[in-house]
Amino acid sequence: MQNLLDFFVHLDSHLFTMIIDYGPWVYGILFLMIFIETGLVILPFVPGDSLLFAAGTFCAGVQNEMGETANLNLYIVLFSLILAAVLGDSLNYYLGNTVGVKILSWKLRGKNLVNEKYIERTKTFFEKHGPKTIIIARFVPIIRTFAPFVAGIGDMHYGKFIRFNIIGGTVWVVFLLFTGYFFGNLPFVKNNFEFVILGIVAVSMIPVGIQFFRK
In the chain, how many domains are there?
Answer: 1
Domain limits at 6? 2-214
First and final CA of the chain: distance in angstroms?
Answer: 31
Phi and psi at 142, nearest 5°, equal: 70, -55
Q: Residue 16 pLDDT > 80, yes or no?
A: yes
pLDDT confidence bin for 35, thresholds 50/70/90: very high
Mean pLDDT of 127-137: 82
Separation of alpha carbons 175 and 136, rounded Å:
13
Whether the predicted pLDDT of 165 surpasses 80: yes
Of residues 181 and 195, which shows the higher confidence score? 181
Nearest to 104 by CA among 92, 124, 118, 93: 118
Decide if pLDDT at 33 tops 70: yes
Residue 47 has pLDDT above 60, yes or no: yes
